[in-house]
């Protein structure tokens, strides 16, 4: 007699978790999430409304709109927006949608202008978004053209925390600082370590897209379980990229405690660091060793900072520089030490995502140090990098793997219930290879996705 899969204990256990498609909350369990959160177009649509429509979303760095008339175009979720510094110096964020018949008003990535002219029928908007010109206007009544609804619409809430500009499509909810929680340390820290107290992103962008769900990149921003395997070619002596690793018998093992990674006392090298997860889905990694702060020991830099802070102040600053990746849910990763950059995530479709990486330049760094950031970003996060290309390959493999209908769930149990409390209310701390941060992301995701208003 044969046993059908449907009769096995494993199948019965799986059935317990099968969710009602209408019950979004059941898709997130303490130790797992349902595969449909990465593959179901209807869930993606709801995310655009309830996650990107409710959370604070990173838009731009102030240096991208430094002067009056400067503009920078980007997306808030799927919605095109223009970040603009008006002629009075105020930063505004407009929906990039002409109020005549809906065309994108501004297609350029960034620049400086007195006005935006829609390419379709030539309507003109000034830098405050006001409708300032309509071709052949005699066919309209003055009363019609006086309607303020013809000005470019503005994103309801915009906040600028020390140069980091965020927008929120909901006019209710917590302010930006409360939303960021412990992550303000990532922004404060990078500015504290800048000898002249300022940073900018003037050197362009690495841009690429992948056929996978947007959450894969925001989860990966503090996933320190994967580097020994996905990034074998970069972190193991003699390591190869993943396709060729099969059959490899030698090379440096990124493991502590035992050469055998599967025994209980073997530990990832990365677990000398921590993964923190907090309210509102915020998460960060600490620095595993001093390798990510070697810049801070550079002689000319050290001399400047000692002049600024004194010897003891400099050492204190060095010690406190603990944050590596600050992962701002839902769409930005700030690498705040070493290879400093802003990485943004633009959801396009349930299986299509665009990544942009803006290397940061630090005011007061020696030229060779700022160039070093660029070189490192080429190796780490460019389209031709040795590291991020591994991740992109993996994201697409996950999306493909999820087309298989069984098992239905993805596991997030690593380190569950072993974490300890952090400094902020709701903050949990685990070892770097634990899935602490991802669980916090999904806790917030569940809150947002299940709240009706
Ligand atoms: S759609 Fe913009 S002017 Fe007509
Ligand atoms: Fe990675």
Q: Per residue in 271-289, pLDDT tens?
A: 889 999 999 999 999 986 7
Give the number of the atom of ligand 1 that is nearest the alpha carbon of residue 98.
Answer: 2
Neighbours of 239 (CB within 10 A): 21
Pair 148, 188 in one domain: no
Residue 394, in any domain of the structure? yes
Residue 50 resides in a domain: no
Whether 55 and 48 have beta carbons less than 8 Å apart is answered as no
Distance from C-alpha of 50 to C-alpha of 321, rounded to nearest angstrom: 34
Clarify whether residues 305 and 193 are in a common domain. yes
Ligand with an atom nearest the CA of residue 220: 2
Q: Which ligand number lies closest to the CA of residue 217?
A: 2
Out of 136, 161, 186, pick the residue that ends a domain.
161
Domain that holds residue 103: 57-161
How does pLDDT run across 335-369, given as a tens digit for each residue? 998 889 999 999 999 999 999 999 999 999 999 99
Residues listed for the chain = 453
| Residue 168 and residue 57 in contact, taking contact as beta carbons nearer than 8 Å | yes
| Nearest of 291, 371, 281 to residue 326 by alpha carbon | 281
Asked which of 210-214, 238-242, 320-324, 421-425 is least confident by mean pLDDT, the reply is 238-242
Whether residue 442 lies inside any domain: the answer is yes
Whether the CB-CB separation of 47 and 329 falls below 8 Å is answered with no
Same domain (yes/no): 149, 282: no
**How far apart are the CA of 231 and the centre of ligand 2, in A?**
7
How far is the centre of ligand 1, averaged over its atoms, from the C-alpha of 397 (Å)? 42
Please indicate, yes or no, if residue 427 is contained in any of the structural domains.
yes
CA of 347 to the centre of ligand 1 (A): 26
Nearest CA to ligand 1 atom 1: 101
Q: Which of 440, 453, 451, 363 is nearest to 28 (CA)?
A: 440
Is residue 128 within 8 Å of 86, Cβ to Cβ? yes
Write out pLDDT tens, residues 186-198.
Answer: 999 999 999 999 9
Which one of 108, 127, 161 terminates a domain?
161
More confident: 366 or 235: 366
Q: For residue 230, report the distance from its CA to the centre of ligand 2, in Å.
A: 7
Find the CATH number of the domain harbouring 107: 2.102.10.10
CA of 106 to the centre of ligand 1 (A): 11
| CA distance readout (Å), 438 to 110, 280, 413 | 33, 12, 10
From ligand 2's centre to the CA of 217, what distance in Å? 9
Output the CA 231–ligand 1 centroid distance in Å. 48
Which atom of ligand 1 is found nearest the CA of 123?
3
C-alpha distances (whole Å) from 261 to each of 157, 233, 246, 256, 327 are 48, 18, 16, 8, 28
CA–CA dist 246, 412 (Å, integer) = 26
Rounded mean pLDDT, 90-109: 98
State yes or no: pLDDT of 79 exceeds 90. Answer: yes
Q: Are residues 82 and 219 in the same domain?
A: no
Is residue 432 within 8 Å of 444, Cβ to Cβ? no
For residue 103, the ligand 1 atom closest to its alpha carbon is: 1
Q: Which of 80, 95, 101 to mutate to test the pocket of ligand 1 (most atoms within 8 A of CB)?
A: 101
CA of 134 from ligand 1 middle (Å) equals 9
Q: State the residue for tokens 């400094």.
A: 423
Task: Please compute, for residue 449, the number of CA atoms within 13 A of its CA located in the half-sphere on the CB side.
Answer: 23
* Lookup: tokens for 42: 């209807």
Cα-to-centroid distance, 295 and ligand 2 (Å): 22
CATH number, domain with residue 382: 3.90.380.10
Q: What is the dihedral of CA 169, 170, 173, 174, to 10 degrees?
A: 20
Tell which of 130, 161, 192 closes a domain.
Answer: 161
Pocket of ligand 1 (CB under 6 A): 98, 100-103, 118, 120-123
Atom nearest to 99 CA in ligand 1: 2
Nearest listed ligand to the Cα of residue 386: 2
Same domain, 209 and 343: yes
Is there a single domain that holds both residue 199 and residue 297? yes
3 state SS for the chain? CCCCHHHCHHHHHHHHHCCCCCCHHHHEECCEEECHHHHCHHHHHHHHHHCCCCCCEEEEEHHHHCCCCEEEEEEECCEEEEEEECCCCCEEEEECCCCCCCCCCCCCCEEECCEEECCCCCCEEECCCCEEECCCHHHCCHHHHCCHHHCCCECCEEEEECCEEEEECCCCCCCHHHHHHHHHHHHHHHHHCCCCCCEECCCCCEEEEECCCCHHHHHHCCCCCCHHHHCHHHHCCCCCCHHHCCCCCCCCCCEECCCCCCCCCCEEHHHHCEEEECHHHCEEEECCCHHHHHHHHCHHHHHHHHHHHHHHHHHHHHHHCCEEEEEECCCEEEECCCCCEEEEEEEEECCEEEEEEEECEECCCCHHHHHHHHHHHHHHCCCCCCCHHHHHHHHHHHHHHCCCCCCCEEECCCCCCCCEECCCCCCEEEECCCCHHHHHHHHHHHHHHHCCC
pLDDT higher than threshold 80 for residue 385: yes
Ligand sitting nearest the alpha carbon of 242: 2
Of 35, 3, 39, which Cα lies nearest the Cα of 17?
A: 35
Atom of ligand 1 nearest to the CA of 122: 3
Mutational test site, ligand 1, from 123, 150, 151, max ligand atoms within 8 Å of CB: 123
Query: How confident is the model at residue 230, as a pLDDT?
Result: 84
Cα 302 to averaged position of ligand 2 atoms, centre (Å): 31
Residue 5 covered by a domain:
no
Same domain for 345 and 212: yes
Could you report the per-residue pLDDT of 12-67, keeping only the tens digit for each? 444 444 444 458 999 999 999 999 999 999 999 999 999 999 999 999 999 999 99
Which residue owns the Cα nearest ligand 1 atom 4?
121
**Do 420 and 296 reside in the same domain of the chain?**
yes
Residue 14 lies in a domain: no
Domain identity same for 147 and 180? no
198-226 per-position pLDDT tens digit: 999 999 999 999 999 999 999 999 999 99
Residue-wise pLDDT tens digits, 239-266: 555 442 334 344 444 455 556 666 666 6
The Å distance, Cα 37 to ligand 1 centre, comes to 37
Distance CA 379, CA 375 (A): 7
Count structural domains, the chain. Answer: 2
Using alpha carbons only, how large is the chain's radius of gyration in Å?
24
Most informative mutation of 80, 95, 106, 118 for ligand 1 (most atoms within 8 A of CB): 118
| Ligand that comes closest to the CA of residue 387 | 2
On whether both 355 and 388 belong to a single domain, the answer is yes
Mutational pocket test of ligand 1: of 99, 100, 132, the residue with most ligand atoms within 8 Å of the beta carbon? 100
Chain mean position to CA 40: 21
Task: Among the bound ligands, name the one nearest to the CA of residue 394.
Answer: 2
Residue to probe by mutation, ligand 1, list 120, 152, 153, most atoms within 8 Å of CB: 120
**Are the C-beta atoms of 153 and 166 separated by less than 8 Å?**
no
Give the sign of the dihedral formed by CA 116, CA 119, CA 124, CA 130: negative
Q: Is residue 137 part of a domain?
A: yes
In a domain, 33, yes or no: no
The answer on 350 and 300 residing in a single domain is yes
Percent above pLDDT 90 for the chain: 79
Taking residues 118-138, report their average pLDDT: 98
**Cα 309 to chain center, whole Å?**
32
Q: Whose C-alpha lies nearest to ligand 1, atom 3? A: 121
Is omega for the bond preceding 235 within 30 degrees of 0, making it cis?
no
One domain for residues 395 and 417? yes
């Amino acid at each position: 007699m044969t046993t059908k899969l449907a009769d096995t204990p494993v199948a019965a256990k799986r059935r317990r978790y099968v969710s009602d498609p209408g019950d979004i909350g059941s898709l997130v369990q303490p130790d797992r999430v349902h595969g449909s959160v990465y593959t179901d177009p209807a869930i993606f649509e709801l995310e655009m409304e309830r996650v990107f429509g409710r959370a604070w979303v990173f838009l731009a760095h102030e240096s991208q709109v430094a002067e009056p008339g400067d503009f920078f175009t980007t997306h808030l979720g799927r919605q095109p927006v223009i970040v603009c510094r008006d002629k009075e110096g105020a930063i505004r964020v407009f929906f990039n949608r002409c109020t005549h018949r809906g065309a994108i008003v501004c297609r350029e990535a960034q620049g400086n202008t007195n006005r935006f002219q829609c390419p379709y029928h030539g309507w003109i908007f000034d830098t405050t978004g006001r409708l300032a010109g309509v071709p052949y206007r005699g066919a309209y009544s003055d009363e019609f053209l006086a309607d303020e609804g013809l000005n470019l619409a503005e994103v309801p809430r915009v906040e600028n925390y020390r140069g980091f500009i965020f927008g929120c499509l909901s006019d209710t909810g917590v302010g930006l600082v409360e939303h960021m929680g412990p992550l303000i340390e990532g922004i404060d820290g990078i500015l504290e370590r800048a000898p002249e107290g300022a940073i900018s992103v003037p050197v362009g962008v690495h841009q690429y897209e992948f056929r996978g769900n947007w959450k894969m990149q925001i989860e990966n921003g503090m996933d320190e379980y994967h580097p020994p395997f996905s990034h074998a070619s970069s972190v193991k002596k003699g390591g190869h990229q993943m396709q060729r690793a099969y059959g490899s018998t030698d090379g440096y093992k990124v493991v502590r405690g035992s050469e055998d990674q599967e025994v209980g006392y073997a530990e990832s090298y990365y677990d000398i660091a921590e993964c923190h997860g907090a309210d509102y889905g915020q998460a960060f990694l600490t620095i595993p060793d001093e390798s990510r702060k070697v810049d801070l020991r550079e002689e000319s830099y050290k001399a400047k900072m000692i002049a600024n802070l004194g010897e003891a102040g400099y050492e204190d600053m060095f010690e406190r520089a603990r944050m590596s990746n600050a992962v701002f849910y839902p769409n930005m990763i700030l690498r705040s030490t070493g290879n400093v950059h802003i990485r943004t995530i633009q959801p396009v479709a349930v299986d299509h995502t665009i990544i942009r990486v803006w290397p940061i330049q630090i005011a007061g760094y020696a030229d060779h140090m700022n160039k070093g950031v660029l070189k490192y970003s080429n190796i780490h996060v460019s389209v031709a990098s040795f590291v991020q290309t591994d991740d992109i390959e993996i994201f697409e493999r996950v999306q493909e793997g999820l087309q298989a209908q069984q098992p239905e769930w993805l596991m997030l149990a690593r380190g569950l219930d072993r974490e300890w409390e952090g400094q902020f209310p709701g903050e949990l701390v685990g070892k770097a290879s634990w899935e602490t941060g991802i669980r916090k992301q999904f806790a917030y995701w569940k809150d947002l996705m299940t709240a009706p208003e």
